[in-house]
Amino acid sequence: MENTGRLKELIQTVLDECGVLLYEIRWTGGKEKTLEVSIMKEDGSMDLDTCASVSEKLSEALDESDVIRDAYVLDVCSPGAEREIRDINELKKMDQPYVLVRLAHPYRKMQEITGTVLSFEDGIIRIEYRDKAAVRTAEISSDEITFARLAVKF
């Protein structure tokens, strides 16, 4: 459909100018293609105004470059409230994120822990979680985490 390398390079250039990070680029849709560009700020957050601003600049750059020849819709968005944390070191940049982590080996008979990250130092993540009525703190080696994502706290 397009020169993938050139497309990624163009998108990255615009995102760098806007001061946001790329989370994912993907094509969606059937007959009508959508180029979905998921972005976030360095702290993992995102807001509607930033998405709109980046969308305008990216749309201009894509139109000028003519790197995509077929018809498509551009969707610049947040990766979502419960996005996967692909690099566990992202947690160091966030201010006490609420997360769900899956573990390679059970911690106090739990394969998953959902809670607030208090700190991440020297490969050890401290997570405050609820165990029925009690609030506890788990200290887990980052090597033990097989999957992590942000979670929504109700």
Strand partners, 72: 33
In a domain, 99, yes or no: yes
92 and 144 housed in the same domain: yes
Mean pLDDT of the chain, nearest integer? 93
Expressed as residue numbers, the domain containing 124 is 88-150
For residues 100 and 145, membership in a common domain is answered with: yes
Q: Say which residues have a Cβ less than 8 Å from residue 117's Cβ, sequence separation at least 6.
A: 91, 94, 96, 97, 98, 99, 125, 126, 127
Query: Are 68 and 97 part of one and the same domain?
Result: no
Give the pLDDT score at 44. Answer: 85
For residue 9, the surrounding DSSP H or E stretch is: helix 4-18
Global pTM reads 0.81
Both structure tokens of 3: 């020169």
Least confident of 17-26, 84-93, 142-151: 84-93
pLDDT for 70: 87
Residues 73, 92 share a domain = no
pLDDT digits (tens, 9 = 90+) for 86-124: 998 888 888 899 999 999 999 999 999 999 999 999 999
Query: Are the beta carbons of 56 and 14 closer than 8 angstroms?
Result: no
Task: State which of 40, 56, 77 marks the end of a domain.
Answer: 77
